Structure 1
Amino acid sequence: MQCSYFDARTCVSCTLMGQPYSEQLADKESHCRSLLGGHRELEWLPAVASSEDGFRNKAKMVIAGSVQEPTIGILDRAGNGVDLRMCGVCSPALRETFPSISAFITLAGLTPYSVPERRGELKYILLTESADGELMLRFVLRSTNLVSKISKYLPALLEAIPGLRVVTANILPEHKAVLEGEEEIVLTGESTLRMRVNDVNLHLRPKSFFQTNTEIAAALYRQGREWVNEANPASIWDLYCGVGGFALHSTALHRKVTGIELSEEAIVSAQLSAHEAGLTGTHFRAGDATAFAVAADKGDVPELVIVNPPRRGIGAELASWLENSTVQHLVYSSCNAVTLAKDLEAMPSFTPRRARVLDMFPQTKHYEVMVLLERAN
């Protein structure tokens, strides 16, 4: 893939841009194999390739410039806006919305926030696309001052972008490098975006996390389901469950499935999905994954645990608990093979059996890797 923004050094976020994709994928698998090389029993399944362009289902864009000529993209070192509305890793549907969003900013008089001057109102737009082409748009604002303007002109935006289902205003008053604030104001009748993945309907609320590459997320959940069904446990914990992707792909009539996630928004989404599907044996709770495991009664410990932690990994405390538990199988999905390797070393009673690299993030050095572990006899 070639990118004019990268070639001009306007945006260098995609650090592998221009490198043949086959080489990118081979290098990622080689990197992961080297980190897990001490586990000689490990069978490596073929790496899962992504589309090398148009794969992103999310656009997190800085709004700068002026009301009449807003930029949609990033900031340069001086804090001025750089327009990236033709970014090639964003899905075609996302790119198609940017002209309409730009026109809406002008129509509604939404003053872009100036980082150097610390004035203005509209900071970011956060746009998410479902597999069915439906969209969620979040306006990140400095205050509630523009909410009435957005509401007033919202019918024009909904007409211009027919797939738009959820629109919100997120309030971020602080001048700091974060993407969203605590307050979320829903401006449409719908407040969740339906995310169909494989044969499962997930729901995404405004602050819920979902993988950035729907195609690879679907492969990730299929692999998890395959390994779970092979082990055929009667009980499962899905720790760091997010909106319930792994848990909802792992359900069966005879199984008790429990998902734990710190984000209450994500848990509401997961509960809605379970309710719609009539899954009476699948439950979700908001809470810290490690605290939940450590506090569990011995009789409640499941046969299989799925973990999908952030980049820092599961950490020493949860790794120690798993090592000393009665859990028989562990499915570990990691976005950071370095912390994965460290966590596996802390659980010597588990033998890694299979591993697979899934390229969630083409054009960058990042990737996802899944490992199936079983307790050694």
Structure 2
Amino acid sequence: MQCSYYDAHACRSCTLIEVPYPDQLRDKEERCAELLAAHAGLEWLPTVASPQAGYRNKAKMVVGGTAERPTFGILDGDGRGVDLRDCPVVAPGIRAVLPLLARFAVRAGLAPYDVPRRRGELKHVLVTESPTGDLMVRFVLRTERPLARLREHLPQLLEQAPRIRVVTANLLPEHKAVVEGDVDVPLTERTTLTMPLGPVALDLRPQSFFQTNSHVAAQLYAQVARWVEAIGPASVWDLYCGVGGFALHCAAPGRRVLGIEVSAEAVQSARHAARDLPDVEFAAGDATRFALASSPEQQPELVVVNPPRRGIGPELAGWLEASTVRHVVYSSCNPVTLARDLAAMPSLRPVRGQVLDMFPHTPHVEVATLLERVRPRATRPASSAGRG
């Protein structure tokens, strides 16, 4: 894939962009196979490739420049804005709306936040696109002062860009290297973006996590649903459930499904999406603490885990190893921590695996594995020979 920003050294985030795409996939397959080589009998399914361009459904744009000429992209080493509105990995619908958002920022008088001087208002613009083409836009501000101007000019923006369904102002008063703050102020009546993936429609609220590649995410959920359907468990836990993607895809009549997620915002989204599914529930909480507090009678037949890059860690891995859970589906964005966690669960054997290229042109990769509990060897009855 050709990228003028990369060629000009304006942005070098796609570190593998010069590697032919088939070679990128092969290298990721070989790396995952090497990291999980200790697990004999692991069957690798065909790798899921991604579109090479336009695959990112979310753009996190740092705002720089001036109030009259803002830049949307990144900052250079001196804190100056580098405009990346035409980034080729961002979805076309997002790229099309970015110039309108820049003009909106000018009309509303949103001075870009100057990182070196710590002044200004508009820090980031975050845009998410649904598979339907609908958009969620979030303006990350330093203070509440621009809210009146945002509301004043918003009708014109919505008229110019009718695919924008949700708009919020996120407040980030602190000077720190994070993308967003804890508070979102709704600016539109609608506050959720519908994300249909295959047979399931997920609801995305402003601070909820969602996979950045809708095409690959749909295939990930579908593969896990096929694994779960073939096993046919009566009960499933989806730990680190986010907005409920795995839980909702694994739902079936009579199957009890429970999703646990630390983000209350994501749980609210998941509950709304599951409103017509009486056997599917979601609760806010820490996945590890929830599992450790459960009794053997409460433990499900199958657990899905989809942790952040740090993995599930020794406590949850130890709980799974000692639990009555028969099958585990582990979806990982970091094969290094996946390998570490699998080594801590020797009674749960990986039997199926799949590489999914969620992040083309980068070293990052998603790996899904299906684990089954190794049955303990049957104890033979003591022989009567030699007994007196």
Alignment TM-score, normalising by the size of structure 2 = 0.96
Task: State the partner residue of 1:375.
Answer: 373
Alignment of 1:72-151 (within 5 A): 72-151=72-151
Equivalent in the alignment of 1:313? 311
Letter aligned with residue 264 of structure 1: A
How far apart in 2 are the matches of 1:352 and 1:115? 47
Deviations 1:165-199 (A, max 9, x none): 00000000011100111111000000000010111
Quick one: distance in 1 between partners of 2:184 and 2:103? 23
Matches of 1:28 and 1:94, distance apart in 2? 28
* Letter aligned with residue 346 of structure 2: P
Q: Which residue of 2 aligns with 1:202?
A: 202
- Distance in 1 separating the partners of 2:102 and 2:323: 54
Aligned twin of 1:189: 189
Offset of residue 342 of structure 1: 0.3
Q: 1: distance between equivalents of 2:347 and 2:112?
A: 55
1:236 and 2:222 correspond: no
Q: How many angstroms apart in 1 are the aligned matches of 2:242 and 2:186?
A: 21
Q: Equivalents in 1 of 2:24, 2:150: separation in Å?
A: 42
**Counterpart of 1:335?**
333
- Cα distance in structure 1, aligned partners of 2:105 and 2:184: 19
Aligned equivalent of 2:358: 360
Write the distance in 1 (CA, Å) between the matches of 2:68 and 2:256.
56
Tell me, what secondary structure is at the counterpart of 1:144?
A: coil
Deviation for aligned residue 1:254: 1.6
* Aligned counterpart, 1:304: 302
Distance of 1:116 and 1:252 partners within structure 2? 54
Report the 3-state secondary structure (helix = DSSP H, G, I; strand = E; otherwise coil) of the residue aligned with 1:138: strand
C-alpha displacement of 1:68: 1.1
| Mapped partners of 1:203, 1:154: distance in 2 | 23
Alpha-carbon separation, structure 1, partners of 2:183 and 2:310: 27
Whole-angstrom CA distance in 1 between matches of 2:24 and 2:167: 36
C-alpha offsets along residues 119-156 of structure 1, whole Å, 9 cap, x if unaligned?
10000001000000000000000000111100110001
Shift of 1:221: 0.2
User: What is the root-mean-square deviation in Å for CA atoms of aligned residues?
Assistant: 0.5
| 1:345 paired residue among 343, 346, 349 | 343
Alignment of 1:256-267 (within 5 A): 256-267=256-267
Q: Please name the residue that 2:292 is paired with.
A: 294
> Which protein is bigger by CA-based radius of gyration?
2
Aligned residue in 2 for 1:214: 214
Deviation at 1:157, TM superposition (A): 0.7
Alpha-carbon displacement from aligned partner over 1:51-88 (angstroms, at most 9, x marks no partner): 01100000000111111111010000000000000000
Query: How many angstroms apart in 2 are the aligned matches of 1:44 and 1:105?
Result: 48
Identity of aligned residues (%): 59
Match of 2:380 in 1: none
Secondary structure at 1:300 match in 2: coil
Tell me how far 1:291 sits from its aligned partner: 0.4
CA distance in 1, matches of 2:347, 2:62: 47
What one-letter code is carried by the residue in structure 2 that aligns with 1:273? A
Cα deviation, 1:252-300, whole Å, max 9, x if unaligned, reads 112000000000000000000000xx10000000000000001012111
Q: Partners of 1:39 and 1:90 in 2: how far apart?
A: 37
1:48 corresponding residue in structure 2 = 48
| Equivalent-residue separation in structure 2 for 1:310 and 1:153 (angstroms) | 38
Q: 3-state SS of the aligned residue for 1:299? A: coil
Q: Which runs of 4+ in 1 moved over 6 A?
A: none
Q: CA deviation at 1:338?
A: 0.2
Q: Distance in 2 between matches of 1:222 and 1:335?
A: 17
Q: Cα distance, 1:19 vs. partner?
A: 1.3
